Structure 1
Amino acid sequence: MKRTLEYTLCRTRNNTPLVTLDSPLGNGQELEPDALRALAQALLDIATQAEQQDVGKHYHTSKGAVEFE
């Protein structure tokens, strides 16, 4: 079963990268090891995107979604 991980790339008050996960994780969700690995990779990819964004003066948040099994 495919799952969707929705997120928002934003910044903190100190202009450092911040990610808001807009999808419920946990909360009784059952994941087999392969799905858990796919989720971990999706989170690592989102973390990389967050670090690569420009959080300067003219920053705008951006939303994204990743599907994983």
Structure 2
Amino acid sequence: MRWVPRYAPELEKRVRSYQGYRATSWRVEETYVKVGGKWKYLFRAVDKHGQLINFMLADRRHTQ
């Protein structure tokens, strides 16, 4: 893991140009979906333009 502090700033600088514009305002949506016959929680972070920022699929609802 010694490479992380050395190369992370350079990787961030190179990747940032491919990420595109991100709005400063965002919201988290939560829904319940069936995946492989089991119910899961799907959380999505969406910016004010409706662009997906990130998502998480979880077995349990983590309220914190």
TM-score range, shorter-chain basis? under 0.3
Q: TM-score, normalised by structure 1?
A: 0.25
Structure with higher strand content? 2
* Structure label with greater radius of gyration: 2
TM-score w.r.t. the length of structure 2 is: 0.27
